[in-house]
Chains A and B, each alone.
Chain A
Amino acid sequence: MTSAALHSSAALAPSHTPFGGLRWALARDLRVAVRSKGELGVQLLFYIIVVSLFPLAVAPDRPLLAALGPGVLWVAALLASLLSLPRLFAGDFADGTLEQVVLSPYPLPALVSGKIAAHWLTTGLPISALAPLLGAQYGLEEAPRYVLAAALLIGTPVLSLLGAIGAALTLGLRGSGSLLALLILPLYVPVLIFGAGAVEAVRGGLAATPHLSLLAACLLLALVGAPFAAASAVRIALD
Chain B
Amino acid sequence: MNFFHYASPATFYPLAGRIARACAIAAAVLTAGGLYLAFVVAPSDATQGEAYRIIFIHVPTAWMAMFLYLVMAFWSALALGFNTRLSAMMAQALAPTGALMAFLALWTGAFWGRPTWGTYWAWDARMTSTLILLFLYLGVIALRHAIVDPRRADRACAVLALVGAVNVPIIYFSVRWWNTLHQGSTVSLTAAPKMAATMLAGMLVMTLAAWCYAIAVSLTRARGIMLERESGAAWTRLAVGTA
Say if A and B assemble together.
yes
User: B177 at the A/B interface (Cβ < 8 Å)?
Assistant: yes
Chain B binding surface, main DSSP class = helix
A187-B164 in contact (CB<8A): yes
Other CB < 8 Å A-B pairs besides A179-B143, A189-B175, A194-B177, 4 of them? A182-B138, A189-B174, A193-B175, A239-B152
Pick the contact of A189 from B132, B143, B151, B166 — CB < 8 Å? Answer: B132
Residues of B within 8 A of A170 (CB): 143, 146
* Interchain nearest-CB distance for B137 vs A (Å): 10
Q: Bin chain B's interface residue count.
A: 20 to 34
User: A197 at the A/B interface (Cβ < 8 Å)?
Assistant: yes
Residue of B nearest to A182 (CB): B139
What total count of A-B pairs have CB within 8 Å? 75
User: A207 at the A/B interface (Cβ < 8 Å)?
Assistant: no
- B152-178 at interface with A (beta carbon < 8 Å): 152, 155-156, 159-160, 162-164, 166-167, 170-171, 173-175, 177-178
21 A-B contacts (beta carbon < 8 Å): A170-B146, A174-B146, A176-B146, A179-B146, A182-B139, A183-B143, A183-B160, A186-B139, A186-B164, A187-B171, A189-B171, A189-B174, A190-B174, A193-B174, A197-B178, A197-B181, A214-B174, A218-B170, A232-B159, A236-B155, A236-B159
Bound together, the chains give a CA A197 to CA B152 distance in angstroms of: 39
Chain A binding surface, main DSSP class = helix
Residue of B nearest to A165 (CB): B163
User: B41 at the A/B interface (Cβ < 8 Å)?
Assistant: no
Task: Give 1 or 0 for each of B105-128: 1 = CB within 8 Å of chain A CB.
Answer: 000000000000000000000000
Residues of A within 8 A of B160 (CB): 169, 183
User: A233 at the A/B interface (Cβ < 8 Å)?
Assistant: yes
Bound together, the chains give a CA A185 to CA B132 distance in angstroms of: 9
A165/B159 contact (C-beta < 8 A), A182-B142, A189-B171, A236-B152 known? yes
Task: Give 1 or 0 for each of A160-178: 1 = CB within 8 Å of chain B CB.
Answer: 0000010001100111100
User: A225 at the A/B interface (Cβ < 8 Å)?
Assistant: yes
User: A237 at the A/B interface (Cβ < 8 Å)?
Assistant: yes
B178-A193 in contact (CB<8A): yes
A229/B146 contact (C-beta < 8 A), A197-B177, A237-B152 known? no
* Interchain nearest-CB distance for A201 vs B (Å): 8
Residues of B within 8 A of A179 (CB): 142-143, 146
Residue of A nearest to B162 (CB): A229
User: B135 at the A/B interface (Cβ < 8 Å)?
Assistant: yes
A186/B181 contact (C-beta < 8 A), A165-B159, A170-B143, A233-B156 known? no
